[in-house]
């Protein structure tokens, strides 16, 4: 008995021929190009598409300016917890006054103003102290007038001082005019506190 083999159809032959040509062309292209021979110059415009780029391999510097747009700012985050105030570093007014006035010394000085003239007196703080306040009192407020009352800075009159910062005042000085018919006393006071 003779067995007849089925004959290949035209469509089958054509398909096999197309596959052979395709595989042969790819093998030729792969084998005929040296490694590293394809660079930027050999790539045609549009040859590299998104599908040919591995995800996560491009960096921001690979894109042209203004290609990566900045998004709108997000909503504000929640407010953080309130900090704890260290009340040990604060003083009440009474505590501050007591701390400031601790160690203060009041110095009183006398002077005599000649009749029809003017005179002065100076109350000087102890060494290591500075003036924090002062004043003057004439013997008769009806016939005597205060012409100047000021802290002494650098040992000279305040009017002769240059503008700006100076060292601590060390005394209080006052000038009084006496228009009465007799010499009269004045009292100058300086409130002194330790320097520093």
| pTM value > 0.85 | no
pLDDT digits (tens, 9 = 90+) for 18-74: 566 555 554 444 556 667 666 677 677 777 777 777 887 777 777 777 777 788 888
Residue 185 has pLDDT above 80, yes or no: yes
User: How high is the pLDDT of residue 173?
Assistant: 95
Listing DSSP states for 33-82 in one string gives SPTT---TTTPPTT-S-GGGSPTT---GGGSPTTSSPPPPP-PPPPPPPP
pLDDT tier at 178 (50, 70, 90 boundaries)?
very high
The CA R_g of the chain, rounded to the nearest whole Å, is: 51
For residue 137, pLDDT over 60 is answered with yes
- Place 146 in a pLDDT band, splitting at 50, 70 and 90: very high
Average pLDDT, the chain: 79
- Phi/psi region, residue 132 (left: phi>0; alpha: psi -120 to 50; beta: rest), is alpha
For the CA atoms of 23, 29, 31, 34, the dihedral, rounded to the nearest 10 degrees, stands at: -160
Percent of the chain with pLDDT over 90: 33
> Tokens at residue 38, please?
């394809």
Is the pLDDT reported for residue 194 higher than 80?
A: yes
């Amino acid at each position: 008995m003779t067995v007849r083999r089925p004959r290949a159809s035209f469509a089958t032959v054509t398909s096999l021929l197309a596959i052979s040509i395709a595989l042969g062309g790819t093998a030729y292209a792969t084998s005929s190009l040296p490694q590293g021979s394809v660079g930027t110059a050999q790539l045609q415009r549009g040859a590299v598409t998104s599908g040919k780029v591995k995800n996560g391999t491009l960096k921001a510097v690979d894109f042209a300016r203004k290609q990566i747009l900045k998004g709108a700012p997000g909503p504000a985050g929640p407010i953080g917890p309130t900090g704890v105030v260290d009340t040990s570093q604060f003083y009440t007014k009474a505590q501050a006054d007591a701390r400031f006035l601790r160690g203060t010394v009041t110095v009183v000085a006398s002077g005599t103003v000649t009749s029809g003239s003017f005179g002065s007196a100076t109350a000087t703080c102890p060494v290591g102290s500075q003036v924090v306040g002062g004043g003057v009192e004439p013997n008769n407020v009806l016939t005597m007038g205060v012409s100047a009352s000021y802290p002494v800075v650098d040992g000279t009159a305040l009017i002769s001082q240059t503008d700006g910062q100076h060292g601590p005042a060390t005394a209080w000085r006052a000038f009084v005019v006496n228009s009465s018919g007799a010499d009269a006393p004045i009292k100058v006071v300086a409130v002194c506190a330790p320097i520093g």
